[in-house]
Amino acid sequence: MNKYNESPWPCVYCEQPTFFGSGNFINRIPADHHHELQDGTTEYRDGYACAKCMEMECDRCPEPIGLDEDVGVEQVYGEGTHRHEFDDGAWKVHLECLTPTEQLFYAENNEEIE
């Protein structure tokens, strides 16, 4: 039996509960993971991941980017861009970490969002 698909539905990464009322229910997402155990073996985990474990690193600052809060090249320069990264090599950043020029492009390409 897979304990990750039963209450309290622990996160497949950190094992914090993701059940309704846990504080991790709203932003949990279906996930699976091959977790390495202390004895060197791996355990397949299928269930949910909490939002904290799904954060990613910002390429420009040490703060983690929250789930669905990252800004990529396509959002700044438009979906038709041939760029694969920002001029400094960054790939995913916070909105606050955009350069002034990038902020102008972002505002122009995302007028309907704001």
Whether 92 and 65 share a structural domain:
yes
Query: Would 89 be classed as within a structural domain?
Result: yes
Amino acid (one-letter) located at 24: N
pLDDT in tens, 69-101: 999 999 999 888 999 999 999 999 999 999 999
Whether 33 and 79 share a structural domain:
no
pLDDT in tens, 25-72: 988 999 999 989 899 999 999 999 999 999 999 999 999 999 889 999
Q: What is the pLDDT of residue 113?
A: 53
- For tokens 């004895």, name the residue: 39
Per the structure, the complete domain to which residue 34 belongs is given by 3-53
The single-letter DSSP state of residue 54 is G
Whether 10 and 46 share a structural domain:
yes
Whether 29 and 71 share a structural domain:
no
Instruction: Considering only the C-alpha atoms of the chain, give the largest distance between any 2 of them, rounded to a whole number of Å.
Output: 53
The single-letter DSSP state of residue 76 is H
The pLDDT-based confidence of 1 (bands split at 50, 70, 90) is low
Whether 36 and 69 share a structural domain:
no
Whether 10 and 33 share a structural domain:
yes
Is the model's pLDDT at 111 over the cut of 80?
no
Query: Would 114 be classed as within a structural domain?
Result: no
